[in-house]
Amino acid sequence: MTVFSHRDFDGHERIVFAHDAASGLRAIIAVHSTRLGPAAGGCRMWPYASDDEALADVLRLSRGMTYKNAVAGLDLGGGKAVIIADPKTQKTTELMRSFGRAINDLGGSYITAEDVGIDVADMEIVRETTRHVAGLSRGAHASGDPSPVTARGVFEGLRLAVAMRLQRETLGGVRVAVQGLGHVGRHLCALLHEAGAVLVVSDIDTTRMREVVEAYGASAVAANEIMQVDADVFAPCALGGILNETIIPALRVAVVAGAANNQLAGPGIAQALHERGILYVPDYALNAGGIINVAREIAGISDPNWVEERFAGMLANIDEILREASERDVSPDAIAAEFARRRLATS
């Protein structure tokens, strides 16, 4: 396993490997940047095939959080944690408490919250051993599950992209292929259905897929078919790295806009999408609604307008990114990265 020479290292400030034999905890915590404030980002529990795979994921996710928080205008840095375990069979109370102790040892440089495989109840357990946690259901400023706010941001950003690329002011009749029906994907489907979109969905969990089909009149396809569906929009809401050199030529959509983190498998993919005429909305600009909601909790702010003001600012930034990219005839990903780097450089 390499760290400092890893292609995704990108100057991380701190990488912690946390192990507790008694609880079975095996976790990696990555703090990419605290330039704008304490690093904030969720904890993901996933049965990674190898330690190298887990390291690559946490490095990319934490760097993405730095850019996400910068573009969203938050006074937070970027960090992320991954726990190498199957959330369906290996998650225990003691494991989550042990994870909380590992977070506490960082002294507040990293604040954790929910991500894939982790929910509000898990964060309540983590809170037993550290105060550096958010996304809670109880407390003076508890923000709860960030998924609905994340989905709302993706929905509104997707609507902006459809208006720009397809010249359609509403989503009525717009065909959207949604990959992944977890917390965010399910909420996104509800919003799209309410707006009149036509849904095609896929998930590795057939129960989830059946529920969405029944609730929203969606069509279902196999997991390996969703990226070849003939649609207006592809909304990736599962794991990252799904847009690669093989998939790009097979896409049959005009817009890619989804909630998944790190959708691009590597350098050059955003440009490849642009060259194919596919409007890609950078994931870290689009899915920041949840961290905005969590940021209010972290800051201890009671004003209900605080989230709405920053949510409106996030959408304004997405609109600016898409418009500038169109004017310069470049990928929106390049513009979003410039936006983030400018804020980091002037802080």
Q: Tell me which residues are annotated as active site.
A: 80
Phi, psi values for residue 187, rounded to 5°: -65, -40
3-state class (DSSP) for residue 127: coil
- Residue 196's beta-bridge partner residues? none
Grouping H, G, I as helix, E, B as strand and the rest as coil, residue 20 is strand
CA 162 to chain centre: 20
Q: Which amino acid is at 173?
A: G
Residue 169: exposed, middle, or buried by beta-carbon count in 10 A (0-12, 13-18, 19+)?
exposed
Cβ distance 59 to 9 under 8 Å?
A: yes
CA–CA gap between residue 68 and residue 282 (Å, rounded):
10
Taking CA 155 as the corner, what is the angle to CA 58 and CA 325, rounded to the nearest 5 degrees?
75
Distance CA 6, CA 71 (A): 25
For the stretch 259-296, what's the b/e string if a residue is b when 16 or more beta carbons lie within 10 angstroms of its beta carbon? Answer: bbbbbbbeeebbebbbeeebbbbbbbbbbbbbbbbbbb
Structure-block tokens of residue 140? 């003076």
- DSSP percent split of the chain into helix, strand, coil, nearest 5: 45, 15, 40
SS3 state at 212? helix
Q: At what angle do helices 289-299 and 51-71 cross, to 10 degrees?
A: 80
C-alpha 219, offset from chain centre? 25
CB-neighbour burial class of residue 211 (10 A; exposed 0-12, middle 13-18, buried 19+): middle
